[in-house]
Amino acid sequence: MSTNAILSDNPLLKGSGLPSFGEIKAEDVVPAFNQLLAELDQELSTLEANVQPTWSSLVEPLEKLTDRLNWSWGIVNHLMGVKNSSELREAYETVQPQVVQFSNKLGQSQPIYNAFKALRASETWAKLNSAQQRIVEAAIRDAELSGVGLLFEAKERFNAIQMELAELSTKFSNHLLDATKAFSMTLTTPEEIDGLPSSLLSLAAQAARAAGEENATPENGPWRITLDSPSYAPFMQHSTRRDLREKLYRAFISRASSGELDNNPLIERILELRQELAELLGFKTFAELSLASKMAPNVQAVESLLEEMRRASYDSAIKELEELKAFATSKGALEANDLQHWDISFWAERQREEKFAFTAEELRPYFPLPQVLDGLFRLVQRLFGVTITPADGQAPVWHEDVRYFQIADETGHPIAYFYLDSYSRPEEKRGGAWMDICINRGKVTENGVTTTRLPVAYLVCNQTPPIGGQPSLMTFYEVETLFHEFGHGLHHMLTKVDYAGAAGINNVEWDAVELPSQFMENWCYDRPTLFGMAKHYETGELLPEHYYQKLLAAKNYMSGSATLRQIHFSSLDIELHHRYRQDSGETPKNVRDRLAKTTTVLPPLPEDSFLCAFGHIFSGGYAAGYYSYKWAEVLSADAFAAFEEVGLDDEQAVKATGKRYRDTVLALGGSKHPMEVFKSFRGREPSTEPLLRHNGLIAAA
């Protein structure tokens, strides 16, 4: 009996269609990938030996091959996020290196790269449509950025740098994690916990119990405060003890900057290796290498956007700080304007409460999840003409709370589906919220019959589950988060592209992919949308008008400071990856202090070692790309402005604009350059004016 026959009932080897979540077990992972990777390796060798530079002999078989890998690996990755267990983790860690190795082999395949280049140079090139051409161009670019064109020692050096960078980035985040865990502050008296909310006292008592104080209670303590954000942030916002805030703040800003956990030498080494990597690939700097696959055309374009945003927010941030000083002084709390770093969060929170007089908790009863979903689905129908209906029971799920929905077009035909996993399950599900791909849209030919495979998305949030007969009640922030992730989902599901390689979010540049998600957040403040879903879950009473006005007012509270902070991080990231050189006599910390003169209004303390904790750029995917947050926000605000310009209360105009947005931004996916996609919707290049206006940084014209 062949091994294939034995393993063929492995649910991870089905290779297409909806995953059989009811049948998949952790012990299926290793045998499935041992078999799958052996088969794919064989297929790759056969393809390399016989490849022809045509769409049907190169791109189609390659897509079939990557589809099989993505289908199986996608399920395992998804389960790691929503149904984690020690068995699954162990299986994942066993097969991950083989998967990465195979991906590298595929990315650096010389025969396939040569075939792509030959296809681009051939007579048939002109006959390919824009989606096909973008897929080929991206394949060539990605292979080149993976070092396919390097020879002998250069390729060996490239691969060695990649390995060392991967190790350094893991070490960086482990140092940061360990340094964050290493500090704690145990409080024992009522005076020391003055001002702290009950939710923090519960967390702090739990942390004390975990550290061995088995009798700790939220009422009587002891309470353990840590540098972990759920503990650190509320303490800085609410503790009336200025001395303790200072102690905690100084510990927070010096994390991973000395002793065994010092990240400074790692930062120097990472920057040095990235520069060498860029030069190997023929770029002057790592920033130029990073931008080679992004929407921003060059470093200058990024810097001029950052400078424009800096100028627009700097004076506001100065004014916000002056107002905060005056407010704190008026409460008799400060000696003549002596506002320090550890005072900012505390006084900003007091000022916000006084100005807008409401808390996030007060709004929860008005936002039960089922009602919010109805409001979201009505909005999507209003804007894009599609209908969303429950399809529970039509797909296997990984947890009984997971729901399944269908999206149909104007004629009632299904065009997409999605899973919705709304509630937090801390024991097995990672925090945060995300959208992921279950199935890509694409044309599929089986036995001579061609059909269109419909896209399926995963939408995952982490809200409070329904408790004792009451539904899941959402904070307004959670409502915004759901709208945000649903925007990503629409990008994936409403695509009209029939090649998986450019359908939906695939092949969309990193700094443009947040456009559809951030765009949807704007609608949470749209009066008809908000009042269509904000009703008290018990009484059915509409959200009182004064809350709506406060939400609008609070939206831009301290927005100058918030914008300037993002500009500070983004500028620092670009400067370190574009201009900084080890032999200049400056350290990365000196670079930060120099930039802080124009991008902060309260200069960092001498011991502030923020870079040692800047995981986004040293252990995440944001190196020379942190600016992407602001870049995409400009696009999304300008896209929303198209609806404001025609009048949000003009139903016909909103529908027409919604159709144009659906036919361009959502339908074209990665089939055209994002600037072309944006221009086809807006009729011009993006402007920063709407974002500055939405943030209250310039007056509405």
Domain positions in the chain: 3-149, 183-255, 261-357+558-626, 363-490+519-541
Nearest-5° Cα angle at 220, 216 to 224 = 50
Q: Mean pLDDT for the chain?
A: 93
- What CATH code would you report for 261-357+558-626? 1.10.1370.10
Where is 226: in which H helix or E strand?
A: strand 223-226
Integer Cα distance of 386 and 659 in angstroms = 10
Q: How do residues 187-209 score in pLDDT, each as one tens digit?
A: 999 999 999 988 899 889 999 99
CATH of region 363-490+519-541, choose from 3.40.1390.10, 1.10.1370.40, 1.10.150.170, 3.40.190.10? 1.10.1370.40
Domain 3-149 is found in CATH 1.10.1370.40 = yes
Q: How do residues 242-274 score in pLDDT, each as one tens digit?
A: 999 999 999 999 999 999 999 999 999 999 999
Mean pLDDT of 371-392: 97
Cβ atoms of residues 499 and 455 within 8 Å? no
Give percent of the chain with pLDDT exceeding 70: 98
**Least confident window among 344-353, 482-491, 511-520, 691-700:** 691-700
Name the DSSP letter for residue 258: S
Cβ atoms of residues 607 and 253 within 8 Å? yes
Q: How do residues 301-312 score in pLDDT, each as one tens digit?
A: 999 999 999 999
Q: Do domains 3-149 and 363-490+519-541 have the same CATH topology?
A: yes
- Torsion on CA atoms 520, 524, 527, 533, rounded to nearest 10: 110
* Residue 243, number of CB atoms within 10 A of its CB: 10
pTM: 0.89
For the chain, the C-alpha Rg in angstroms (whole number) is 27
Structure tokens, 491: 């990008």
Q: How do residues 220-248 score in pLDDT, each as one tens digit?
A: 989 999 998 878 999 999 999 999 999 99
Which pLDDT belongs to residue 5?
A: 43
Mean pLDDT of 538-551: 94
pLDDT surpasses 50 at 538: yes
Which residue among the candidates 485, 509, 521, 633 is catalytic per the annotation? Answer: 485
Integer Cα distance of 681 and 479 in angstroms = 27
**Least confident window among 515-519, 533-537, 617-621:** 617-621
pLDDT surpasses 90 at 542: yes
Integer Cα distance of 633 and 688 in angstroms = 9
Which pLDDT belongs to residue 229?
A: 83
Angle in degrees, 0-180, between the axes of helices 86-107 and 29-50, rounded to the nearest 10: 10
Catalytic-residue membership of 485: yes
Which pLDDT belongs to residue 464?
A: 84
